[in-house]
Amino acid sequence: MISILQNNTPSFFYLSLNIIPAILLIGLFLLREKNKEPITMVLSTFALTYIIIIPLDLLITIVDPFLVNYFDNQHFYSLNAFFRAAFLEEFLKFSIIFLFVYKSTYFDEISDGVIYGVTVGLGYAVAENYNYLIYDYYGLEPMIKFIENRWWALIGHVSLGIIMGILIAKSRLVKFKKNIILSLSLVVPIFLHGLHNYTFDSKVLFENYVDYYIFGFDIILITGCLIFLPKLETYKFKYETTNSLYKDFIKISLVGFIFSLLIAIIFGFIN
């Protein structure tokens, strides 16, 4: 098998193991949808997740030294989980759906929230996993560990994307509670993402049993959305232009930022 990179880097076959599950999963969701989304829109959304890796890496180079130098023990774990990982990643994924998809004329059904949420989740998971493949690959055994661990992460990002997408789409159906639902579309993924990372890294909360519950929830959510996706198409909303798009984006981003810090402080006292 010819390697696309030299010196103990993964072969094309192994690299394909990262993206093939994502393609198949996106394909399953697209096939289940009756009113098909434009493939160019879906592919553009998928591609944008590769671009957000750049600002994410820049932010991480700032946050990591700060956390290492000023925090230790449980507060380090909680801030690392809920802010460094959960907020930064979910905020950037939220920015794609909200700034790129939300204003599109094609975004007119609750099911569209599922489709684009899945696309963003899978796109980010694939881009993230390539870093693990390239920098942490040293043979077959680590590759097996990669499949066991990173495919789990891929499923996790899909479920978080679904939650985010559904809530963002749901906000288009309401008037008075719009900002509350939009805030939840960022806050809920931050909490679930951070909870997983915190239990995995700190080893102090319920002896990691939380991870099993979250994994079960992920599988049920993804399966349920695949089964009932056509029914979600009955919840349609009209396209509405808005002059407050960027103002709303800043407000929701601040809510997510403050929430991630507060929840990190609370979990920092768990020992």
Q: How many domains does the chain have?
A: 1
For residue 38, the tally of other CB atoms under 10 A from its CB is: 10
Radius of gyration of the chain (CA): 19
The pLDDT of residue 85 is above 90: yes
Angle between helices 245-268 and 178-202 (to 10 degrees): 30
Q: What is the pLDDT of residue 6?
A: 41
Work out the average pLDDT over 138-167.
77
| 2 belongs to a structural domain | no
Q: What is the DSSP letter of 200?
A: H
Cα 83 from Cα 92, distance rounded (Å):
12
Structure tokens at 173: 């159906």
What is the rounded CA–CA span in Å between residue 127 and residue 115?
18
Cα separation, 88 vs 57, in Å, equals 10
Tell whether 162 is covered by a domain. Answer: yes
Q: What is the pTM of this model?
A: 0.89
Does residue 3 lie within any of the structural domains?
Answer: no
Give domain status of residue 40, yes or no: yes
Do the domain assignments include residue 250? Answer: yes
d(CA 136, CA 98): 33
Q: Do the domain assignments include residue 204?
A: yes
Question: What does the pLDDT read at residue 234?
Answer: 85
Find residue 11's DSSP bridge partners: 3
* Residues near 72 by beta carbon (within 8 Å), at least 6 away in sequence: none
The answer to whether residue 203 sits within a structural domain is yes
Report the pLDDT value the prediction gives residue 2, as an integer from 0 to 100.
35
Three-state DSSP state, 177: coil
> Do the domain assignments include residue 1?
no
Write down the mean pLDDT value for the chain: 85
pLDDT at 140 over 60: no
- Mean pLDDT of the region 61-70: 91
pLDDT tens digit sequence for 174-188: 777 888 999 999 999
Of residues 44 and 244, the one with the higher pLDDT is 44
What is the extent of the structural domain holding 35?
12-268
For the chain, what percent of residues have pLDDT higher than 90?
52
